[in-house]
Amino acid sequence: MEVELSGHYGYRRIIRTMTPMVLMMIVISIYSIVDGYFVSNYAGNDAFAGMNLIWPPIALVGALGLMLGTGGSALVSKTLGEGDPDKARRIFSMLIRITIIGGIGIAAVMFAIMPWLARVLGSDEAMLPYAVLYGRILILVLPAYMLQMEFQPFYMAAEKPQFGTALSLACGVTNMALDALFVAGFGWGLTGAAIASSVSLLVGGGYPLWYFSSRRNTTQLRMVRCPFEWQSILKSCSNGMSEFVGNIALSVISICYNWQLMQYIGADGVSAYGIVMYLGFIFAAVFIGYNMGISQVISFNFGAGDKAELKSLLCKSLVIVGVCGIVMTALSEVAAHGIARVFVGYDENLCAITTHATRIYMLSFLFCGFNMFASAWFTALNNGTVSAAAAFVRTLVFELASVFVLPLIFGIEGIWLSVNVAEILALILSAVLVVAYRKRYGY
């Protein structure tokens, strides 16, 4: 399927073009779910809880790659729209190189402090060795994980979204096959799950690095020799700050949820939250994939000065996001019990907790798609400040406050309700921002 950033995008073209990006993100979101299924069923609840406890800080660092990829791809697409492909290639190459260098340094530090980090996150003695083991194995491939996250938005900027989908599918199949072999077949438990994920991350980050550096690459983007241009790097970081803030917030909030749940329920609460988030990852992947794809089209038209197309993209995107939110919420309400049984069917009490939590938490998808798109909208317009502010208030203000305040009023129910309250408040803020900046950008 040939994809071009230019030209008018109607509903059919939007859906056809964005589907590969959505599928790519869904497949990627399944990685941790597959690990969770095998660990929960073959290694036990302590190993499952330890894995869920240590994953958020690793995801937080991986978000640096997404920040550079999202912000950088918006700048690259805008530059392509302005008719300067050589500069676009230089920006692309710089960002990939700085990610590799930074990833190696961060990985070395995190490997050394992993036991301390697990304790700070609230690990008890039963969970501690599992958390450290899983964290240290994954941290060895941190640069590849960061690259995998970074390349995702660039597939659309390179007009090759189907390439990202195919690669993600290959990584997903690799991860699932190795999980079945190492965990279920060889009985390696959590170690096997960590190795399976590491191999898939190496493929997901390493193969595109080779492709964009090779002669087989026929896209507008490729790795070229270039000096570091700090202005472009800083602009990319600024553009992608909202995605970084969002991922930081997701990690921080996950840590806070886990901490609160340890106080109210214990390890069962952490396990239940982990399963809820698995479903949340898949649903959020729909919005993330759509935003990654449509952002490049928005940035291109912004660079080309086509205000009529910008308005059309905004209106159509709001309709698509709204319909997807309704469908996903309905599916989660129906499938909650079945999903819980897949992971923790061996424990009726834990299964009941997970089912109840899922049905409350997933109501948030009626609102969160609009908030995620609003943030992506301003990123695509190269206004990282507004985008980051919206993401910061939505998560690190509204949701973080809710997860600590609401349990004081409603007990454990307050923890599950927190995300819904936060998303409703954020929806009001998103609407105000989109309307307030309408004249400035002419949409």
pLDDT at 206: 94
Residue 55 falls within a domain, yes or no?
yes
Q: How many CB atoms lie within 10 A of CB 205?
A: 25
pLDDT digits (tens, 9 = 90+) for 102-112: 999 999 999 99
- Identify the pLDDT of residue 100: 95
Q: What are phi and psi of 381, to 5 degrees?
A: -85, 10
Asked if residue 4 belongs to a domain, the reply is no
How far is Cα 403 from Cα 405, in angstroms, rounded to an integer? 6
pLDDT of 31 reads 66
**Residue 27, domain member (yes or no):** yes
For the chain, what is the domain count? 1
pLDDT of residue 251: 65
pLDDT of 318: 96
* 1 within some domain: no
Q: Domain for residue 367, yes or no?
A: yes
pTM above 0.75, yes or no: no
Residue 204 in tokens = 């997901």
Q: For residue 6, what pLDDT is reported?
A: 76
pLDDT digits (tens, 9 = 90+) for 73-104: 888 888 888 888 898 899 999 999 999 999 99
Q: Is residue 2 part of a domain?
A: no
The 3-state DSSP class for residue 47 equals: helix
Residue 4, classified by CB atoms within 10 Å of its CB into exposed (0-12), middle (13-18) or buried (19+), is exposed
Q: Is residue 6 part of a domain?
A: no
Residues of the chain with confidence (pLDDT) below 70 = 1-3, 31-32, 242-243, 245-251
User: For residue 343, what are the domain limits?
Assistant: 11-441
Q: Residue 3's pLDDT is what?
A: 64
Non-local CB neighbours of 351 within 8 Å, separated by 6+ positions: 337, 340, 341, 344, 345
Fill in the DSSP letter of residue 5.
S
Q: Is residue 394 one of the residues assigned to a domain?
A: yes
pLDDT at 95: 92
The pLDDT, as a whole number, for residue 32 is 63
Q: Give the model's pLDDT for residue 250.
A: 65
Distance of CA 79 to the CA centre of its chain: 25
Axis crossing angle, helix 128-139 with helix 189-213, rounded to the nearest 10: 20
Query: Which of 342, 364, 359 is closest to 287 using CA atoms?
Result: 364
